[in-house]
Amino acid sequence: QVQLVESGGGSVQAGGSLRLSCVVSGSTDRSSTNWMGWFRQAPGKEREGVAAIAADRSNTPYAASVRGRFTISRDNAKNTVYLQMNGLKSEDSAIYYCATAPRTVTYWGALLADKYNYWGQGTQVTVSS
């Protein structure tokens, strides 16, 4: 069974930074052929795609609300994906999840939750004003 475990969440003041990590285990291909994505969900709101990165790192779509502030990266040798979050705002507060999707997913589909097969348990990010 594929497992994903997020870490790095916490509480920060507006304008601060955090780096989230997600370690993937239980995959014979080390998830090296998959998209990796970050999603978030705040209370009373729908889950939204934040950022994604292709297996070969050739494409990195971002939600408009985070473009220029967040950076996604991956280290396939370590089976790990990262989300560097700078200039945090109160509206970024949410539970953040990492997930994997097949390589065949298109660039424009890579921020859609229904394209993803496996999910982590989430890590809480709280930004105070």
Mean pLDDT of 1-8: 92
Nearest to 69 by CA among 105, 123, 17, 107: 17
For 31-67, the pLDDT digits (tens) are 567 899 999 999 999 999 999 999 888 899 999 999 9
**What is the residue-averaged pLDDT of the chain?**
94
Mean pLDDT of 12-31: 86
Mean pLDDT of 75-88: 93
Tokens of 106: 């298109």
pLDDT given for residue 27 in this prediction: 67
Tokens of 102: 């097949």
